Each structure stands twice: as C-alpha cells, then as structure tokens.
C-alpha cells in the first residue's frame, strides 16, 4: 500500500552533470513514473571545486520548490572502475588498494569502485546545495547491457557520450572487465592517479591535448584516417558547423586510440583469462559516425551493433529504484 501511494506522489529530480568548464542541470517533475515537466540549463564552471553563486541559488530554489526533491550526479572522472568479483580479498590481485577507494558490490556481479579523492571532491562542490545520490556510469551500463547479452559470446558493451565512454566486457553472463576514459577536448574535472602511494600526495592530472592540423585529417596509430568535408567558407573559425565537425573527428580519433589501449590491456593481462571479444554493442544518444564503426570493424575486426538510448532516462530509472 505504501509503495502504491509513493508512485502517485510528485517528485522533482535534479540531474547535475559536471564537465571541465560547464555544468548541465536537467530537471524532471515525475508522477507515477511519468514525466510531467522537464527543463535544462547550462552554467559556467569557473572554479574547479566550487559552483557559481547563480548555480547554487538555482539548485537550492529547485530543491525548495518541492517537498520531494532529489539532487543526483554521475561520476565523471577516471578514478573509477570495476573488479569482476565482490570478494574484497581479491582487490589486491587487480592492483586496487582499498585504502584509497569507496566500493560497492553491484547485484553480486562485480565490485564498482570510485577513488576517495573523487568522492571528496564531489562532496565539496555540492557542499552548498547537498547531494542525494552519486551514480556510477558502470551501473547505468550494467542496467542497459544486462538483457542485451548474448551469453555464448564475449561481448564489449560501450556507453558512449561525446565526453566519455564506459566499457564493460561480458562472458557467459558475467562481467569480467571494465574501463572508463574521456575522448573529448573538454576534459573531465578529475583524473585520479591510482598508482600514488599516498592519498595526500595524489595529483590531479590532465590528459594530453591534441592539436588540430591544417588539413583536418586525423590518422590514428594504426594508420586509419578520419576525414571531414572541407568548407568553402572563408571564415572557417566562425562557422559553428565546421568547428563541430572538427571536434567530432577529434573525438573519434581519441576514442579509437583509447579503445585500442583498453583492448590491449584486456588481452595482455592473464588475470582476466581473456578470450577474444566477438562483437561490440554501443549504447548512445549521440549519432555514431560511420567512420567510427568502420574503424572498429576493419581495424579491430569486431562486428558492431549500435543501440539508441536516452541517457537521462537511464539515470531516472536508477532514481525510481531508489526513491519510488
């Protein structure tokens, strides 16, 4: 009876996505699992560990407008991963020191961990507004991929956004490997170094920047070239579509490089008892370029299947499970 009543109450869910120079806030008013109203706003992130006054006031106003309001974010840094077991005694086998992480067993399938540095940073940046839930992209991808698995195959599942990618490899219904990386010029706020011996001495490091060549042809380490159509506009710098194409090509280039590195790690470490991956399933609300699919199929020899998703909808599903 109580669950029946909860479904018919009105909720406001405030989804906050943090990037290097901006913050996206998506809000949803929900009743009986139906979205009544939604809104989206963008704010500048002028300081690495502090929201602007305008953003703080906006979130607080949203919270105060509803009795049942919840603020949620998704971990957006490289200091996270999975271990294909829920046994804490096995962490050391995967070079993960429990002193520096928070971890949780996900449905008895794998351990999801996040560095304490990242969690403390999130707690600090949300200190003026409060934060109700911190979700992991690995949990989102697990929920999406669980019923998409072909258990007789070794499959690579990828949750793809323009900013970053989350990867899970499944084999016979088990999650045996995971990785997270950024492929966007706009880098994530935190990049945690797990090799540090002392948490206080840990450094926040930025990934390498990639310069754009004049001809805008990008070639990855395997010699595969991504091209964009030329633009006859004399003011290319002012052509937003042209700049968008440049960023897209650059994202593709970085994605393929990182994907190749991840697969190399998976194949080279005996602890994963890795069989060769049979196919790739990409889940994205972005359009996946043909050149990207072509690279995966021709250079990595993997068949590719692309499935469209709504990222916010997947986050809301986690919230429904927790709240309603």
| Domain boundaries, given as residue ranges, for the chain | 80-323
Structure tokens at 204: 């926040």
- For the entire predicted model, the pTM comes to 0.83
CATH topology of domain 80-323: Nucleotidyltransferase; domain 5 (3.30.420)
pLDDT digits (tens, 9 = 90+) for 117-158: 999 999 999 999 999 999 999 999 999 999 999 989 999 999
Do the bridges between strand 279-284 and strand 303-308 make them parallel or antiparallel, or are there none, so unpaired? Answer: parallel
CB atoms within 10 A of CB 158: 23
What string of DSSP letters covers 86-140? S-GGGGGGGT--GGGEEEEEETTTEEEEEEHHHHHHHHHHTTTT--SEEE-HHHH
pLDDT at 225: 52
Local confidence pLDDT in tens for the 324 residues of the chain: 466 788 889 999 999 999 989 999 999 999 999 999 999 999 999 999 999 999 999 999 999 999 999 999 999 999 999 999 999 999 999 999 999 999 999 999 999 999 999 999 999 999 999 999 999 999 999 999 999 999 899 999 999 998 999 999 999 999 999 999 998 755 555 544 444 344 443 333 233 332 323 333 434 445 555 454 555 555 555 565 655 667 777 888 899 999 999 999 999 988 887 679 999 999 999 989 898 999 999 989 999 999 999 999 999 999 999 998
Query: What radius of gyration do the chain's Cα atoms show?
Result: 21
DSSP E strands in 233-315: the ranges are 279-284, 303-308
Distance in angstroms (rounded) separating the CA atoms of residues 318 and 115: 21
């Amino acid at each position: 009876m109580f669950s029946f009543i909860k479904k018919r109450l009105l909720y406001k869910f405030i989804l906050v996505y943090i990037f290097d120079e901006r913050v996206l806030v998506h809000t949803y008013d929900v009743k009986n699992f139906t979205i009544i109203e939604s809104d989206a706003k963008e704010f500048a992130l002028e300081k690495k560990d502090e929201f602007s006054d305008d953003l703080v006031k906006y979130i607080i106003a949203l919270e105060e407008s509803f009795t049942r309001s919840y603020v949620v974010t998704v971990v957006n840094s490289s200091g996270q991963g999975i271990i294909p077991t829920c046994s804490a005694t096995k962490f050391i086998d995967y070079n993960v020191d429990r002193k520096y992480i928070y971890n949780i067993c996900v449905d008895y399938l794998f351990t999801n961990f996040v560095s304490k540095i990242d969690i403390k940073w999130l707690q600090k940046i949300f200190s003026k507004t409060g934060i109700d839930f911190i979700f992991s992209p690995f949990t989102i991808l697990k929920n999406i991929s669980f019923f998409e698995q072909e258990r007789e195959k070794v499959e690579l599942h990828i949750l793809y956004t323009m900013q970053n990618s989350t990867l899970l490899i499944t084999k016979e219904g088990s999650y045996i490997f995971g990785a997270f990386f950024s492929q966007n010029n706009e880098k994530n706020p935190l990049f945690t170094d797990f090799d540090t011996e002392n948490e206080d001495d840990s450094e926040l490091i930025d990934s390498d920047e990639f310069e754009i060549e004049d001809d805008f042809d990008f070639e990855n380490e395997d010699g595969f070239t991504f091209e964009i159509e030329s633009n006859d506009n004399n003011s290319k710098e002012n052509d937003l579509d042209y700049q968008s194409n440049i960023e897209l090509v650059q994202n593709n280039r970085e994605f393929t490089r990182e994907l190749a590195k991840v697969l190399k790690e998976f194949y080279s470490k005996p602890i994963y008892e890795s069989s060769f991956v049979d196919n790739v399933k990409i889940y994205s609300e972005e359009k996946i370029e043909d050149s990207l699919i072509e690279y995966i199929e021709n250079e990595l020899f993997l068949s590719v299947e692309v499935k469209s998703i709504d990222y916010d909808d997947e986050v809301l599903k986690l919230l429904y499970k927790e709240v309603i």
